[in-house]
Structure 1
Amino acid sequence: MARKALELLKRTVWLACLGIAGHLNVARADGSQQVQFESAAVLPTPFQARIAQQSGQVLKARPGTPLIGYLTRPPGEGPFPAVVVLHGCTGLFPSVRKSWSERLSSWGYVALFVDSFSTRGIRETCDHRGLLADRVYDAYGALEFLSKLSFVDPRRIALSGSSAGGTTTLEAVQAGGAEQLMERKFKAAIAYYPNCSAANGDMAVPTLILIGELDDWTPAQKCQAMVAEHGGKGAVQLEVFKGARHAFASPGLKTGKEEYGHRVEYNAAAADQSVSDVRAFLKRAFSG
């Protein structure tokens, strides 16, 4: 009972902070603002609800998890299109957040970088995928949060992620998955070096996948096979960069290194081309 009371108190305090501080809380040195929101509530699937009903039970939604994020916006009143960004299995790096937030803002987009680890007390998840399902609901919680901001166009919000965040991105927009349970939908999706074996390739929105030819952590061959088998559904665009490895868009890995038994290395040519691909893709997706 004492433990439940403590958890209830923590949650009450968190929600009170949300109400007092409003949407925008702490201005950062890099121009972003720290914000607080919750992951989307986990709803029972129609099948789960039907089975429960047959046995006289009523399934309730699992409440969302408190999260923090970092928000940047272009100058002006908007409303602007926006991008939700999910980090990889090692967490949210300030340098990556800074470079991409400045880039997206210069293109005219609001950006919300979701920190899925801090409030959960997690440092990394590279050895397992246990948090993948929860992070899908983090993405939809971020979508809900952005959709209520006056300077964001709720009809034009894309989801983007890299590595484990890229895998989560594919899972989040996969037709027939969690997206069918959500009232609000993403307009498009971008996945850097995702694990394509975790997705069936049937995407509910236009999806851009960017991956290195020599990636030995999330092999490009898995993405090529997925697109070959299901490429006709969901308008999946796959870009495979020759000579590039996992994390090719991370400038901090210019010398390359081994992580968890895999080679990660920056590739300037692939990184630059991928940025151009992302910009063109978002322009097309948001113009529709």
Structure 2
Amino acid sequence: MFSKSAFAPLAVLLAGLLPGMALAGIQTEEIAYDHDGDEMTGYLAHPEGDGPHPAVLVIHEWWGHNDYARDRAEQLAREGYTAFALDMYGSGKLADHPSTAGEFAGEIRENRDLMLGRFQAAYDWLRAHDASADTAPSAVGYCFGGTVALEAARAGMDLNVAASFHGGLATEHPAEVGKVSAELLSFTGTADPMIPPEQVAGFQKEMQEAEVRYTVVEFSGVKHSFTNPGADAIAEEFGMPVGYDARADHDSWNHLLGVLRDRH
């Protein structure tokens, strides 16, 4: 069902086969949940022992709910969070070619009600879980998932932080004064043709006019998908302008953790 990419940790693969297994101080479980009759597959990771813990939703790239999203959920669990890697496409929908990924992502981007509904279904499931603290969760998204995180915040969902890593910043539903409760984060690379400078500038103007607390971080010379260790292989296979950057990955992750600590 899920991509078993070469860079995925073996522990992630085993967790899919052994629900509820413990991995180096964390507990993981594959979760089936529902949105309007469609089965979705999520992945829960949280610290072992007493909880509850602050909750974070992890939203996958345009490829779909894969090992990379699960790995990020585990990283957050090791930092003390209850993390839920949600599913925006539906169980079993995982792309292995950019054309398919674009089709899947486009279906969601072009139907905002569907986008927000699927996000809400995962949000509600996570908030009801015993391992989640009774406070507003945060949302962390990558590429397509970053767009979803920001759109959820623009829609006024009760979030602590909405963080976008190399996610699109343009919108047809700009933030409004008094509607956005989340602190917004955007991490992009200046060598990313998918998020040109005018899009970054437009996002900053939007946030300033809506009086939203936000931070924009741009990494010089860094390409799209800079947080994904598999990006270089994708670039080689499909000729895409993407690439991993270890320093940008490290710095953006630590920035996120600092903001999460402040807000939770």
TM over 0.5: yes
Cα separation, 1, equivalents of 2:222 and 2:119: 28
Cα separation, 1, equivalents of 2:115 and 2:85: 13
Q: SS of 2:222's equivalent?
A: coil
- 1:69 alignment partner in structure 2: 42
- 2:58 alignment partner in structure 1: 85
Q: Indicate how the Cα distance of structure 1 residues 156 and 77 shifts in structure 2: closer, same or farther if over 3 A, else same.
A: farther
Q: SS of 2:251's equivalent?
A: helix
Does residue 193 of structure 1 match 2:166?
Answer: yes
- 1:167 alignment partner in structure 2: 147
Give the letter for the 1:280 counterpart: G
- 2:115 alignment partner in structure 1: 135
- 1:5 alignment partner in structure 2: none
Contact 1:224 1:238 in 2 (8 A): no
Cα separation, 2, equivalents of 1:88 and 1:113: 11
Does residue 104 of structure 1 match 2:84?
Answer: no
Contact 1:69 1:115 in 2 (8 A): yes
Cα separation, 2, equivalents of 1:200 and 1:228: 10
- 1:119 alignment partner in structure 2: 91
Cα separation, 1, equivalents of 2:38 and 2:119: 12
Cα separation, 2, equivalents of 1:261 and 1:218: 18
Q: Indicate how the Cα distance of structure 1 residues 239 and 34 shifts in structure 2: closer, same or farther if over 3 A, else same.
A: same
- 1:209 alignment partner in structure 2: 186
Moved more, 108-117 or 247-256: 247-256
Cα separation, 2, equivalents of 1:147 and 1:194: 25
Decide which of 219, 235, 248 is 1:257's aligned counterpart.
235
Cα separation, 1, equivalents of 2:205 and 2:166: 17
Cα separation, 2, equivalents of 1:280 and 1:274: 10
Q: SS of 1:190's equivalent?
A: strand
Q: TM-score, normalised by structure 1?
A: 0.72
- Report the CA distance between 1:246 and its aligned residue: 0.4
Q: Indicate how the Cα distance of structure 1 residues 104 and 195 shifts in structure 2: closer, same or farther if over 3 A, else same.
A: same
Mark the runs of 5 or more structure 2 residues left unpaired by the alignment. Answer: 1-17
Cα separation, 2, equivalents of 1:140 and 1:285: 21
Cα separation, 1, equivalents of 2:87 and 2:50: 26
Contact 1:96 1:250 in 2 (8 A): no
- 2:9 alignment partner in structure 1: none
Decide which of 233, 245, 268 is 2:223's aligned counterpart.
245
- 2:252 alignment partner in structure 1: 274
Cα separation, 2, equivalents of 1:145 and 1:281: 24
Deviations 1:185-227 (A, max 9, x none): 2222111112111252444311111111111123343122221
Q: SS of 1:204's equivalent?
A: coil
Deviations 1:26-83 (A, max 9, x none): 33686520112223xxxxxxxxxxxxxxxxxxxxxxx363311000001222110011
Q: TM-score, normalised by structure 2?
A: 0.78
Decide which of 32, 48, 51 is 2:28's aligned counterpart.
32
Cα separation, 2, equivalents of 1:283 and 1:83: 12
Q: SS of 1:167's equivalent?
A: helix
Q: SS of 1:251's equivalent?
A: coil
- Report the CA distance between 1:279 and its aligned residue: 0.5
Moved more, 25-34 or 226-235: 25-34
